Amino acid sequence: MRTHAMWLGASALTLAWYSTALADAASSASTDQNSSATIETVVVTAERRTENLMTTPIAVDVLSGEDIAAKGVTSVDDLQFIAPTVTVDNFGQGIDFNIRGIGKGEHNSQTMTGVITYRDGVATFPGYFTGEPYYDIASIEVLRGPQGTFVGQSATGGAVLVNSNDPTIGGGYDGYAQAQYGNYNDGQLQGAVNIPISDTLAARVAVYGEARSSFYSITDSSAADNCPGQKYSGCKHSYNPGDLQIGAARVSVLWKPTEALTVSIKTDADYLDFGGYPASPYYEGFKTFPFGSTTPNPHYSDIFHITQNYANLGQDKFTRSVLKVDYVLPDGIKLRSVSGYQTGITNYKTDLDGTDYGSLASAGTPANWFFWDIVGESIWSQEFNLISPDNQRVTWVLGAWAQQDRYNYKSPYQFVIGQPANGSPDVLANNYELEGTTPNISWAGFGQVGFNVVSGLQLQLGARWTTEKTKNVDLNILQYGTLLSINQSEKSYSFDYKASLNWTINDNNFAYAFVSTGYKPGGLNVPVGIGTPAPFGPERVQSYETGWKATWLDGHMRTQMDAYYNNYQHFQVTIGYPAFPVFGFEVNDPKPSQIYGFEGETQASFGNLSFSAGVGLMHTALGGFYATDPRIPVALPCDPLTGPSNAFGTCVNLKGHPQTYAPDVSYNLSAEYRFDLGNGDTLTPRVNFSHQNPQYATLFDNQSQGDLLAARNILGAQLELKHNDYLLTLYSTNLTDQHYEAALNSGLRFAGAPRQFGIRLLKVW
């Protein structure tokens, strides 16, 4: 504990020294005219009203549309490179999104996410459809820590609020157009136009399109090259190595017939064809095999050079409509309604062993496996708010929320895990197949009140009651030809709260301290032929946080620092079935985990020089319980509470193991300098760097199973030339071309994006 305290203190001093040193250097190098430029005021909308970032008691990163372009943020994967203690591990059909070590650590649809994304005020799909591009965006807010009051369930780690640009009433036909081309034949077009219709009505249309060749080289040395008549064949002609084709469009309409009434309608339509997510088995990253031996691994390969003998497919199609209505009463109270409807279909195929020779299990038995599914999902949601006027001694928000999220595993049996026989993957005796519907229904009431006790000192109290129910409807499973039917349900309740004391010390300093809670629903285990496992329960987190936000040097620099402690209870984890560990099922950790850390950030602008920096330090430790790694086939019992540990190491006490996807150190740096060329023209070089320490992909920390994901050091650079309304940019991401594992799932290693570079032209009017 003493070591960690010294570590956090030293880091805080380092960040403060770094910021001050850069500020002094920049200040001395700037002219009086340049020094007049200060950092713009940033607002956040996390608490249903527009507030100044520097006086909001939340650890949050806010990116404007300009920041998104400057930092090379194009999708959710990139958020981990601009904010501390954020990890995004993309394994194809979904992501493990974690903030401060809390989020989603299990790769399945029955486990809810712990970091939810909102688009224009509506919670989006919690697992699938995660590759939606960022285009025509007004702001992105990354909220760290549980957001139990306003976001509710599925925000134990935090939340991301993505706000697209609104139409402008009274404006002209303004907008932008952007074209980009880079290596891997990466071509991109996007743009938006504001359409004035009347003095009270305007529309905005935005579009995005991208096509890119695969990052991968795939070979198939198997003898079978032609499989006529097979619906889901692994033939060469059906391979897609990961060629990307994306099309997206958004239509927005804003109507303001009176000063009191504002109506907004936004509809998104996305076609996301990623071509598939090729991956290779973890052991192909070992130079020797078995791990730790001196025997050269004949299958050792680069992460982008793989073999496969089954098709790849990764395709999402969905639409989302959001209706937002605001009405301000004569006394200033705002009534708000936000309605959302989303529906989509995801289609996925993969070579589950990731080879053309069969996977090498720990026992050395070769096997060929494949997986494919077609899943539909639809979400209805409704939220009502009553919001008091700002700048009163007592401010308050009341809300009610309801949502139905319905998964439909298509019939007949459009979810298949199989092992081919005699060249055919459609052999029922070798397959695990599933069909049916899983609806999830949630509703909640919430509120928050803020009371200014004395000048500069505010007490905030917030609470939320949530009820959630999930069930399987006519869920049928064919396990190796045997029919298993299940109708099971799980219901949970949660009362979450936040109590915060906020102190505006003066115009430049703000401090806060709070205790808050968060909740993530439980779910259902599917049967595996040995009975129906019990449902797993919800996760809960109690968080203590204190923070200090300050503005320095006449508004040229701002800093945010916070320290937090999380008591994380009932963590949902997949382990071996206690009585028969060959099968896996999901349980709750019976003992609480501990997570604590420090975060510090700074942003500064001194004339032509701007920079930012952020650091996150984190310690995580599981509560004590015993588990069998389901990847290691054994038949020895292992009770989660009593064990016992055995000589074979197959019943492991996980006490003290780190959380999954929780690097203990992460930091990011960025800087840019604008050269004035005359006549308003500028040339701006900028650089962005992000580091994440190694992290574990499972709780078992078994390096011989590929659990340790190496450190990530991602360097990006841009050179931007501005002339009138044109921006010409040379860009590069992952400039050093680091080949790293972005995620581990089902024994497969999924690669992060390699080096990309190109040219981009933007025209604004």
Measured CA to CA, the distance from residue 320 to residue 384 in angstroms comes to: 19
Number of other CB atoms surrounding residue 426 within 10 Å: 14
Per-residue pLDDT tens digits for 36-57: 567 788 888 989 999 999 999 9
First to last CA, the chain: 56
The arithmetic mean of pLDDT across residues 4-14, rounded, is: 39
pLDDT at 127 over 80: no
- Look at residue 425 in the predicted model and tell me its pLDDT: 58
- Look at residue 359 in the predicted model and tell me its pLDDT: 73
The arithmetic mean of pLDDT across residues 712-723, rounded, is: 97
- Look at residue 111 in the predicted model and tell me its pLDDT: 72
Please provide the average confidence, as pLDDT, over all residues in the chain. Answer: 86
The arithmetic mean of pLDDT across residues 77-82, rounded, is: 90
Per-residue pLDDT tens digits for 513-522: 999 999 988 8
Measured CA to CA, the distance from residue 55 to residue 61 in angstroms comes to: 13
pLDDT band at residue 432 under the 50/70/90 scheme: confident
- Look at residue 633 in the predicted model and tell me its pLDDT: 67
pLDDT at 484 over 70: yes
Model-level pTM?
0.90
Cis, peptide link before residue 590, omega less than 30° from 0: no
From the list 320, 184, 331, the residue with the least C-alpha distance to 249 is 320
Measured CA to CA, the distance from residue 109 to residue 521 in angstroms comes to: 12
Measured CA to CA, the distance from residue 502 to residue 358 in angstroms comes to: 59
Burial of 31: CB neighbours in 10 Å, binned 0-12, 13-18, 19+? exposed
3-state secondary structure 572-613: EEEEECCCCCCCEEEEECCCCEEEEEEEEEEEEEECCEEEEE
pLDDT at 352 over 90: no
Structure tokens at 575: 């382990």
pLDDT at 8 over 90: no
Q: Where are the domains of the chain?
A: 2-764
pLDDT at 428 over 50: yes
The arithmetic mean of pLDDT across residues 490-509, rounded, is: 94
Q: State whether residue 490 is helix, strand or coil.
A: strand
- Look at residue 292 in the predicted model and tell me its pLDDT: 84
Number of other CB atoms surrounding residue 217 within 10 Å: 13
The arithmetic mean of pLDDT across residues 682-705, rounded, is: 93
pLDDT at 441 over 60: yes
pLDDT at 579 over 70: no
Beta strands 756-764; 726-733: pairing state: antiparallel
Measured CA to CA, the distance from residue 574 to residue 627 in angstroms comes to: 9
The arithmetic mean of pLDDT across residues 586-594, rounded, is: 87
Q: What percent of the chain has pLDDT over 70?
A: 87
Radius of gyration of the chain from its Cα atoms, rounded to whole angstroms: 26
Q: What percent of the chain has pLDDT over 90?
A: 58
Most confidently modeled range among 217-221, 346-350, 692-696: 692-696
pLDDT band at residue 226 under the 50/70/90 scheme: very low
Beta bridge partners of 33: none
Query: What is residue 128's DSSP assignment?
Result: S
Residues 6+ apart with CB under 8 A from 258: none
CATH 3.40.190.10 fits 2-764, yes or no: no
Measured CA to CA, the distance from residue 646 to residue 652 in angstroms comes to: 8
Alpha-carbon distances of 470 from 476, 496, 512, 572, 650, rounded to whole Å: 16, 20, 37, 16, 33
Number of other CB atoms surrounding residue 549 within 10 Å: 23
Location of structure tokens 């992105």? 140
pLDDT at 574 over 60: yes
Give residue 713's Cα distance to chain centre: 19
Per-residue pLDDT tens digits for 724-743: 999 999 999 999 999 999 98
The arithmetic mean of pLDDT across residues 658-672, rounded, is: 94
- Look at residue 238 in the predicted model and tell me its pLDDT: 55
Location of structure tokens 């989509």? 344
pLDDT at 439 over 70: yes
pLDDT band at residue 301 under the 50/70/90 scheme: very high
The arithmetic mean of pLDDT across residues 430-451, rounded, is: 91
- Look at residue 609 in the predicted model and tell me its pLDDT: 96
